[in-house]
């Protein structure tokens, strides 16, 4: 760095969704951890998030964008015109765009985070409009950004394989997990969430958490659970929690559930309820057809939940030997469900391994690696002058 100066970074948080799913948690925890490290940065955000980020990063400059950018088309237009102006105003040396898109004009280096490649590897699980948009944004970032952040080796490998991306400009930076928030729940916490869901203590429940979109493979999970649970004397409930997506097959699968089985869709759960929900389950089933990282798996592990997931893309990087892997089809999922239901010792072992492995993923480490990326971007731009 020139004269030992830490480059000043502007993080564009204007694309963070209100429901604080995976991308939202990534940006929130990154900003909090950067502030804890004393990083030299500013944040521009939606007006509705101004107070929130001010609390998260009390030493950073937090700027609210115009009210109009709450709508995506206006935000994308502002990104090209208003964001460079904000960068100039706060004296930023580097811009970090943490959700695919980036400003194409301006003389500052830009770091872009590309979260996954399923828009290319499995396009049918995304809406056509969303797929076209994010494929275009990914190609643009790979061509125009100074550096690219990806959350897993699998994402890096697939970008190279599918798009011949320059891997020398990519930095693999795994996400972290906040173990103060995501922790093994107390019995009281378990009782509260169970009562809120209207479930008895026995025989327990299998938990899913995620947006109900085709990539999450929930219809196959429901079909597999019906196969396994239908003839059991006291079958566990299946709880499908998360924001409503656009997978119409979920409703069709639920319509085929026999009346004596219990399946619940509580919808979006409050953030504070997640540790009890995940850690209070017999196990968590996450049958995704592919992830750029797999934050729900990591958070479930931190809560002490045994986890069943698939071995596709990045998920083995997160789960290691601490989760149970299956295929994505209903037959394979049914075998996995039966194995975990019938083996309490295996569940206990996975729960213990998951807690230990989750401790290897910290937001502090992630933030430090981001600082190294910002420095590389700054040095690259400085060398080109």
Same domain, 133 and 208: no
pLDDT for 2 equals 42
Mean pLDDT to the nearest integer, 287-302: 95
Do 9 and 155 lie in a common domain?
yes
For residues 112 and 239, state if they share a domain: no
Inside any domain, residue 182: no
pLDDT band, very low/low/confident/very high, at 86 (cuts 50, 70, 90): very high
Looking at the fold, whether 140 and 125 belong to one and the same domain comes out as yes
The answer to whether the bond into 211 is cis (omega within 30° of 0) is: no
Same domain for 342 and 366?
A: no
Q: How many domains does the chain have?
A: 2
- 324 with 224, same domain? yes
Average pLDDT of the residues in 25-49: 96
Res 1 pLDDT > 50: no
CATH of the domain at 34: 3.40.50.2000
Domain that holds residue 277: 187-358
Mean of per-residue pLDDT scores for the chain: 94
Q: What percent of the chain has pLDDT over 90?
A: 84
**Would residue 181 count as lying in a domain?**
no
Q: Are 291 and 347 in the same domain?
A: yes
- Are 14 and 158 members of one domain? yes
Residue 127 pLDDT: 78
Is the pLDDT at 332 greater than 50? The verdict is: yes
Q: How many CB atoms lie within 10 A of CB 242?
A: 21
Residues 160, 191, single domain; the answer is no
What length is written for the chain?
385
Tell me: pLDDT of 4 over 60: no
Sequence-separated (6 or more) residues with CB below 8 Å from residue 214: 124, 125, 126, 246, 247, 249, 289
How many other C-beta atoms lie within 10 A of the C-beta of residue 55?
9
58 and 168 in a single domain? The answer is: yes
Higher-pLDDT residue of 239 and 200 is: 239
Q: Is there a single domain that holds both residue 211 and residue 137?
A: no
Query: Which range has the worst mean pLDDT, 124-128, 260-264, 338-342, 355-359?
Result: 124-128
What's the average model confidence in pLDDT over 59-76?
94
Q: For residues 336 and 31, what is the distance between their CA atoms, to the nearest angstrom?
A: 38
For 356-383, the pLDDT digits (tens) are: 999 999 999 999 999 999 999 999 988 8
Sign of CA dihedral 34, 40, 41, 42: positive
Quick one: what percent of the chain has pLDDT higher than 70?
Answer: 98
**133 and 250 co-located in one domain:** no
- Does the pLDDT value for residue 298 go beyond 50? yes
DSSP annotation of 5 reads P
pLDDT in tens, 169-211: 999 999 999 999 999 999 999 999 999 999 988 999 999 999 8
Q: Is the pLDDT of residue 3 over 50?
A: no
Mean pLDDT value of segment 9-13: 97
Stated pTM of the model: 0.93
pLDDT of 385: 64
Mean pLDDT confidence for 211-240: 95
Instruction: Compute the distance between CA of residue 345 and CA of residue 233 in angstroms, rounded to an integer.
Output: 21
Least confident of 80-89, 125-134, 211-220, 365-374: 125-134
């Amino acid at each position: 760095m020139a004269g030992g100066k830490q480059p000043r970074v502007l993080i564009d948080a204007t694309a963070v969704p209100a429901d604080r799913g995976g991308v939202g948690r990534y940006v929130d925890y990154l900003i909090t951890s950067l502030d804890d490290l004393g990083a030299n940065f500013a944040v521009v955000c939606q007006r509705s998030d101004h107070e929130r980020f001010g609390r998260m990063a009390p030493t950073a400059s937090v700027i609210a964008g115009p009210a109009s950018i709450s709508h995506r088309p206006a935000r994308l237009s502002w990104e090209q015109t208003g964001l460079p102006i904000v960068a100039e105003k706060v004296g930023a040396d580097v811009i970090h765009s943490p959700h695919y898109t980036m400003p194409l004009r301006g003389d500052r280096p830009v770091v872009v985070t590309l979260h996954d490649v399923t828009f290319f590897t499995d396009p049918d699980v995304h809406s056509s409009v969303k797929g076209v948009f994010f494929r275009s944004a990914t190609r643009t970032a790979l061509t125009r950004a100074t550096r690219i952040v990806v959350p897993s080796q699998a994402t890096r490998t697939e970008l190279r394989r599918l798009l011949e991306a320059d891997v020398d400009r990519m930095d693999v930076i795994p996400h972290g997990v906040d173990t103060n928030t995501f922790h093994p729940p107390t019995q009281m916490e378990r009782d509260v969430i169970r009562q809120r869901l209207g479930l008895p203590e026995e025989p327990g429940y299998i938990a899913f958490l995620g947006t109900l979109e085709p990539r999450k493979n929930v219809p196959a999970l429901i079909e597999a659970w019906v196969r396994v649970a239908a003839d059991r004397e006291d079958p566990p409930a299946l709880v499908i929690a998360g924001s409503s997506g656009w997978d119409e097959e979920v409703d069709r699968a639920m319509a085929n559930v026999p009346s004596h089985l219990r399946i619940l869709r509580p919808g979006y759960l409050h953030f504070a309820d997640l540790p009890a929900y995940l850690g209070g389950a017999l196990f968590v089933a996450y049958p995704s057809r592919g992830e750029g990282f797999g934050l729900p798996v990591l958070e479930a592990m931190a809560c002490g939940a045994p986890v069943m997931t698939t071995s596709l893309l990045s998920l083995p990087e997160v789960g290691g030997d601490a989760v149970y892997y299956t295929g994505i089809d209903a037959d394979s999922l049914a075998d996995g469900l039966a194995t975990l239901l019938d083996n309490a010792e295996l569940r206990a072992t996975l729960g213990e391994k998951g807690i230990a492995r989750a401790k290897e993923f910290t937001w502090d480490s992630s933030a430090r690696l981001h600082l190294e990326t910002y420095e590389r971007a700054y040095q690259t731009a400085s060398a080109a002058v």
